[in-house]
Structure 1
């Protein structure tokens, strides 16, 4: 007697996709529907009603793939996603990959075995083709780029420009950018935005160095950078975690912030409010990002929408104690 796995194998789709087709619950492409229908007819498959009931319950589960749960940005993002999913009757399974492609791949396989209804991915470790072949609803969030699914991100280019304008308008001329890991698209966009603004000023020098979005490692990097160059008067960190680390390193070396060194972070997590001095930051609308990603995924699952688009949400500047209150009147001289 054939089973649902036999149907999935013959149709060339996942078991979760066959389950959604059988229960008429969630998105299945027309091409896959025809393949599953042909496989069912060929195998003379008769769904078990008890198994069907169980799979229906499992279809209310959503997988959330995160790169690093110790980065305070991602728990705040996860909370927004969970709030929306619970309200809509879905349960979220959180998977922390530790920035490890092998671990991410293993999580995806486990989630498919649990017949998850869809995935929200916030990483950039696997090739898009690996997600395309899953044939389930997917939404990319934050770091994900260039995939054929709906994507929700901050407008990182705008945020980078805003950071540059802030530091330069407050008198910084020798600026260090803590660029984060070199393979993360969101950081590269922030750097590009910063440089597109700063390059207008002949008297402004900018140096970009990689960092790790990790407090201890970035602390050591900034400590070394400041010891090697006493002319640095501004730091743009592509994450608030790195920004807080930069403040700590500078204070270790007896820098007065913001008098002789100013720091701007990026994220807007609560950590930046409680450090001393508090961190000026380019704040992402974290809750709105997570909320929108969850809503778009659920609309796919329920067959209401599958518009492939890249939604960019504008960040905003939050001025705190790590930058001067006043602007320099002559900063516009180029």
Structure 2
């Protein structure tokens, strides 16, 4: 038998409204009525039509998450935290991995909107994506676009850069190399700005020769540092990399060329993922669980309460000291 709410009502002798209350666990009804309805539901394995329900309520209880690289542990941990918050609150999560491809960002945005998601979370999304017109509530992570209907949650990246600079200066580094993403990404730009602000304040020389840009990743960073060493232009005693994978790539290049870490060169990364932990790289810690949880919480509040005001939340960061900067005084 194809069971519907109407059919359940007929078979149990109650109204469709009462059936709906029992199935959604809302309102008043007797235990006897509840048992009759649930016994019937179990007998015929009734499953409510989610599409029909979404049409009635104007909500699908789903959200979309667009992530640039799901293989990156930093993003993966955030996505897991989003799902861990959403599931107990009755929301399903559609995860779309764009692979750092802006065209895919746009494609996924359109598809998610067509699927009727209730809201979107962007993790480091492209600027083109922010230009898309939508009435959906949006929460960004590590992005603060100029949109009227968005909220953003980000780590204090500027402070992270400052902490890294202060640590290397404290460890007597005199000439520091900053390894950063070749793209103009807000989170990394803020880290570099924070780092530079400390050097400017103490009068330490810092120019174009102190900045090395590369594609984000272990191998690109390794190749970039190796090329610098082979050219005879590597005369640095400290390195700040804007993420842990680039810090690890730099460490490999240094060791392969006979440099000792931390005796010759001290290294600090950023994000504090397991790569830095198991290779004993000092790193700026970002709270990935809080980034994901707070983003999901913000979005669900906006969905259910109709909140559309601009809101930005900044989470604190901290230094996790390991062997790559120890014993350098």
Q: TM-score band (shorter)?
A: 0.7 to 0.9
What is the 5 A alignment of 1:44-123?
A: 52-53=52-53, 55=55, 59-123=60-124
1:264 maps to: 268
1:38-71 per-residue CA deviation (whole Å, 9 max, x = no partner) reads xxxxxxxxxxx99532545971111101112232
1:290 maps to: 292
* C-alpha RMSD over aligned residues: 2.0
- Note if contact 2:144-2:312 (Cα within 8 Å) is conserved in structure 1: no
What is the 5 A alignment of 1:1-334?
A: 52-53=52-53, 55=55, 59-127=60-128, 130-131=131-132, 133-148=133-148, 149-205=150-206, 207-227=210-230, 228-275=232-279, 278-303=280-305, 305-325=307-327, 327=329
What is the CA-CA distance between 1:89 and the residue it aligns to? Answer: 1.1
1:34 maps to: none
What is the CA-CA distance between 1:291 and the residue it aligns to? Answer: 0.7
Matches of 1:243 and 1:146 in 2, distance apart?
32
Larger Rg over CA atoms: 2
Structure 1 residue ranges, 4+ long, deviating more than 6 angstroms after superposition: none
CA distance 1:233–1:51, change in 2 (3 Å): closer
Gaps of 5+ in 2: 1-48
What is the CA-CA distance between 1:200 and the residue it aligns to? Answer: 2.4
SS in 2 for 1:187: helix
- Note if contact 1:78-1:290 (Cα within 8 Å) is conserved in structure 2: yes
Matches of 2:202 and 2:213 in 1, distance apart?
23
Deviates more, 1:194-203 or 1:133-142: 194-203
Matches of 2:53 and 2:290 in 1, distance apart?
34
Matches of 2:145 and 2:325 in 1, distance apart?
32
SS in 1 for 2:131: helix
What is the CA-CA distance between 1:199 and the residue it aligns to? Answer: 1.3
1:6-62 per-residue CA deviation (whole Å, 9 max, x = no partner) reads xxxxxxxxxxxxxxxxxxxxxxxxxxxxxxxxxxxxxxxxxxx99532545971111
- Note if contact 2:172-2:328 (Cα within 8 Å) is conserved in structure 1: no
Deviates more, 1:207-216 or 1:142-151: 142-151
Gaps of 5+ in 1: 1-48, 328-334
SS in 2 for 1:127: helix
SS in 2 for 1:256: coil
Report the number of matched residues: 276
* TM-score between both structures, scaled by the size of structure 2: 0.79
1:295-331 per-residue CA deviation (whole Å, 9 max, x = no partner) reads 000001112644411111111000001002464xxxx
CA distance 1:243–1:52, change in 2 (3 Å): same
- Note if contact 1:281-1:317 (Cα within 8 Å) is conserved in structure 2: yes
SS in 1 for 2:96: strand
Matches of 1:50 and 1:169 in 2, distance apart?
59
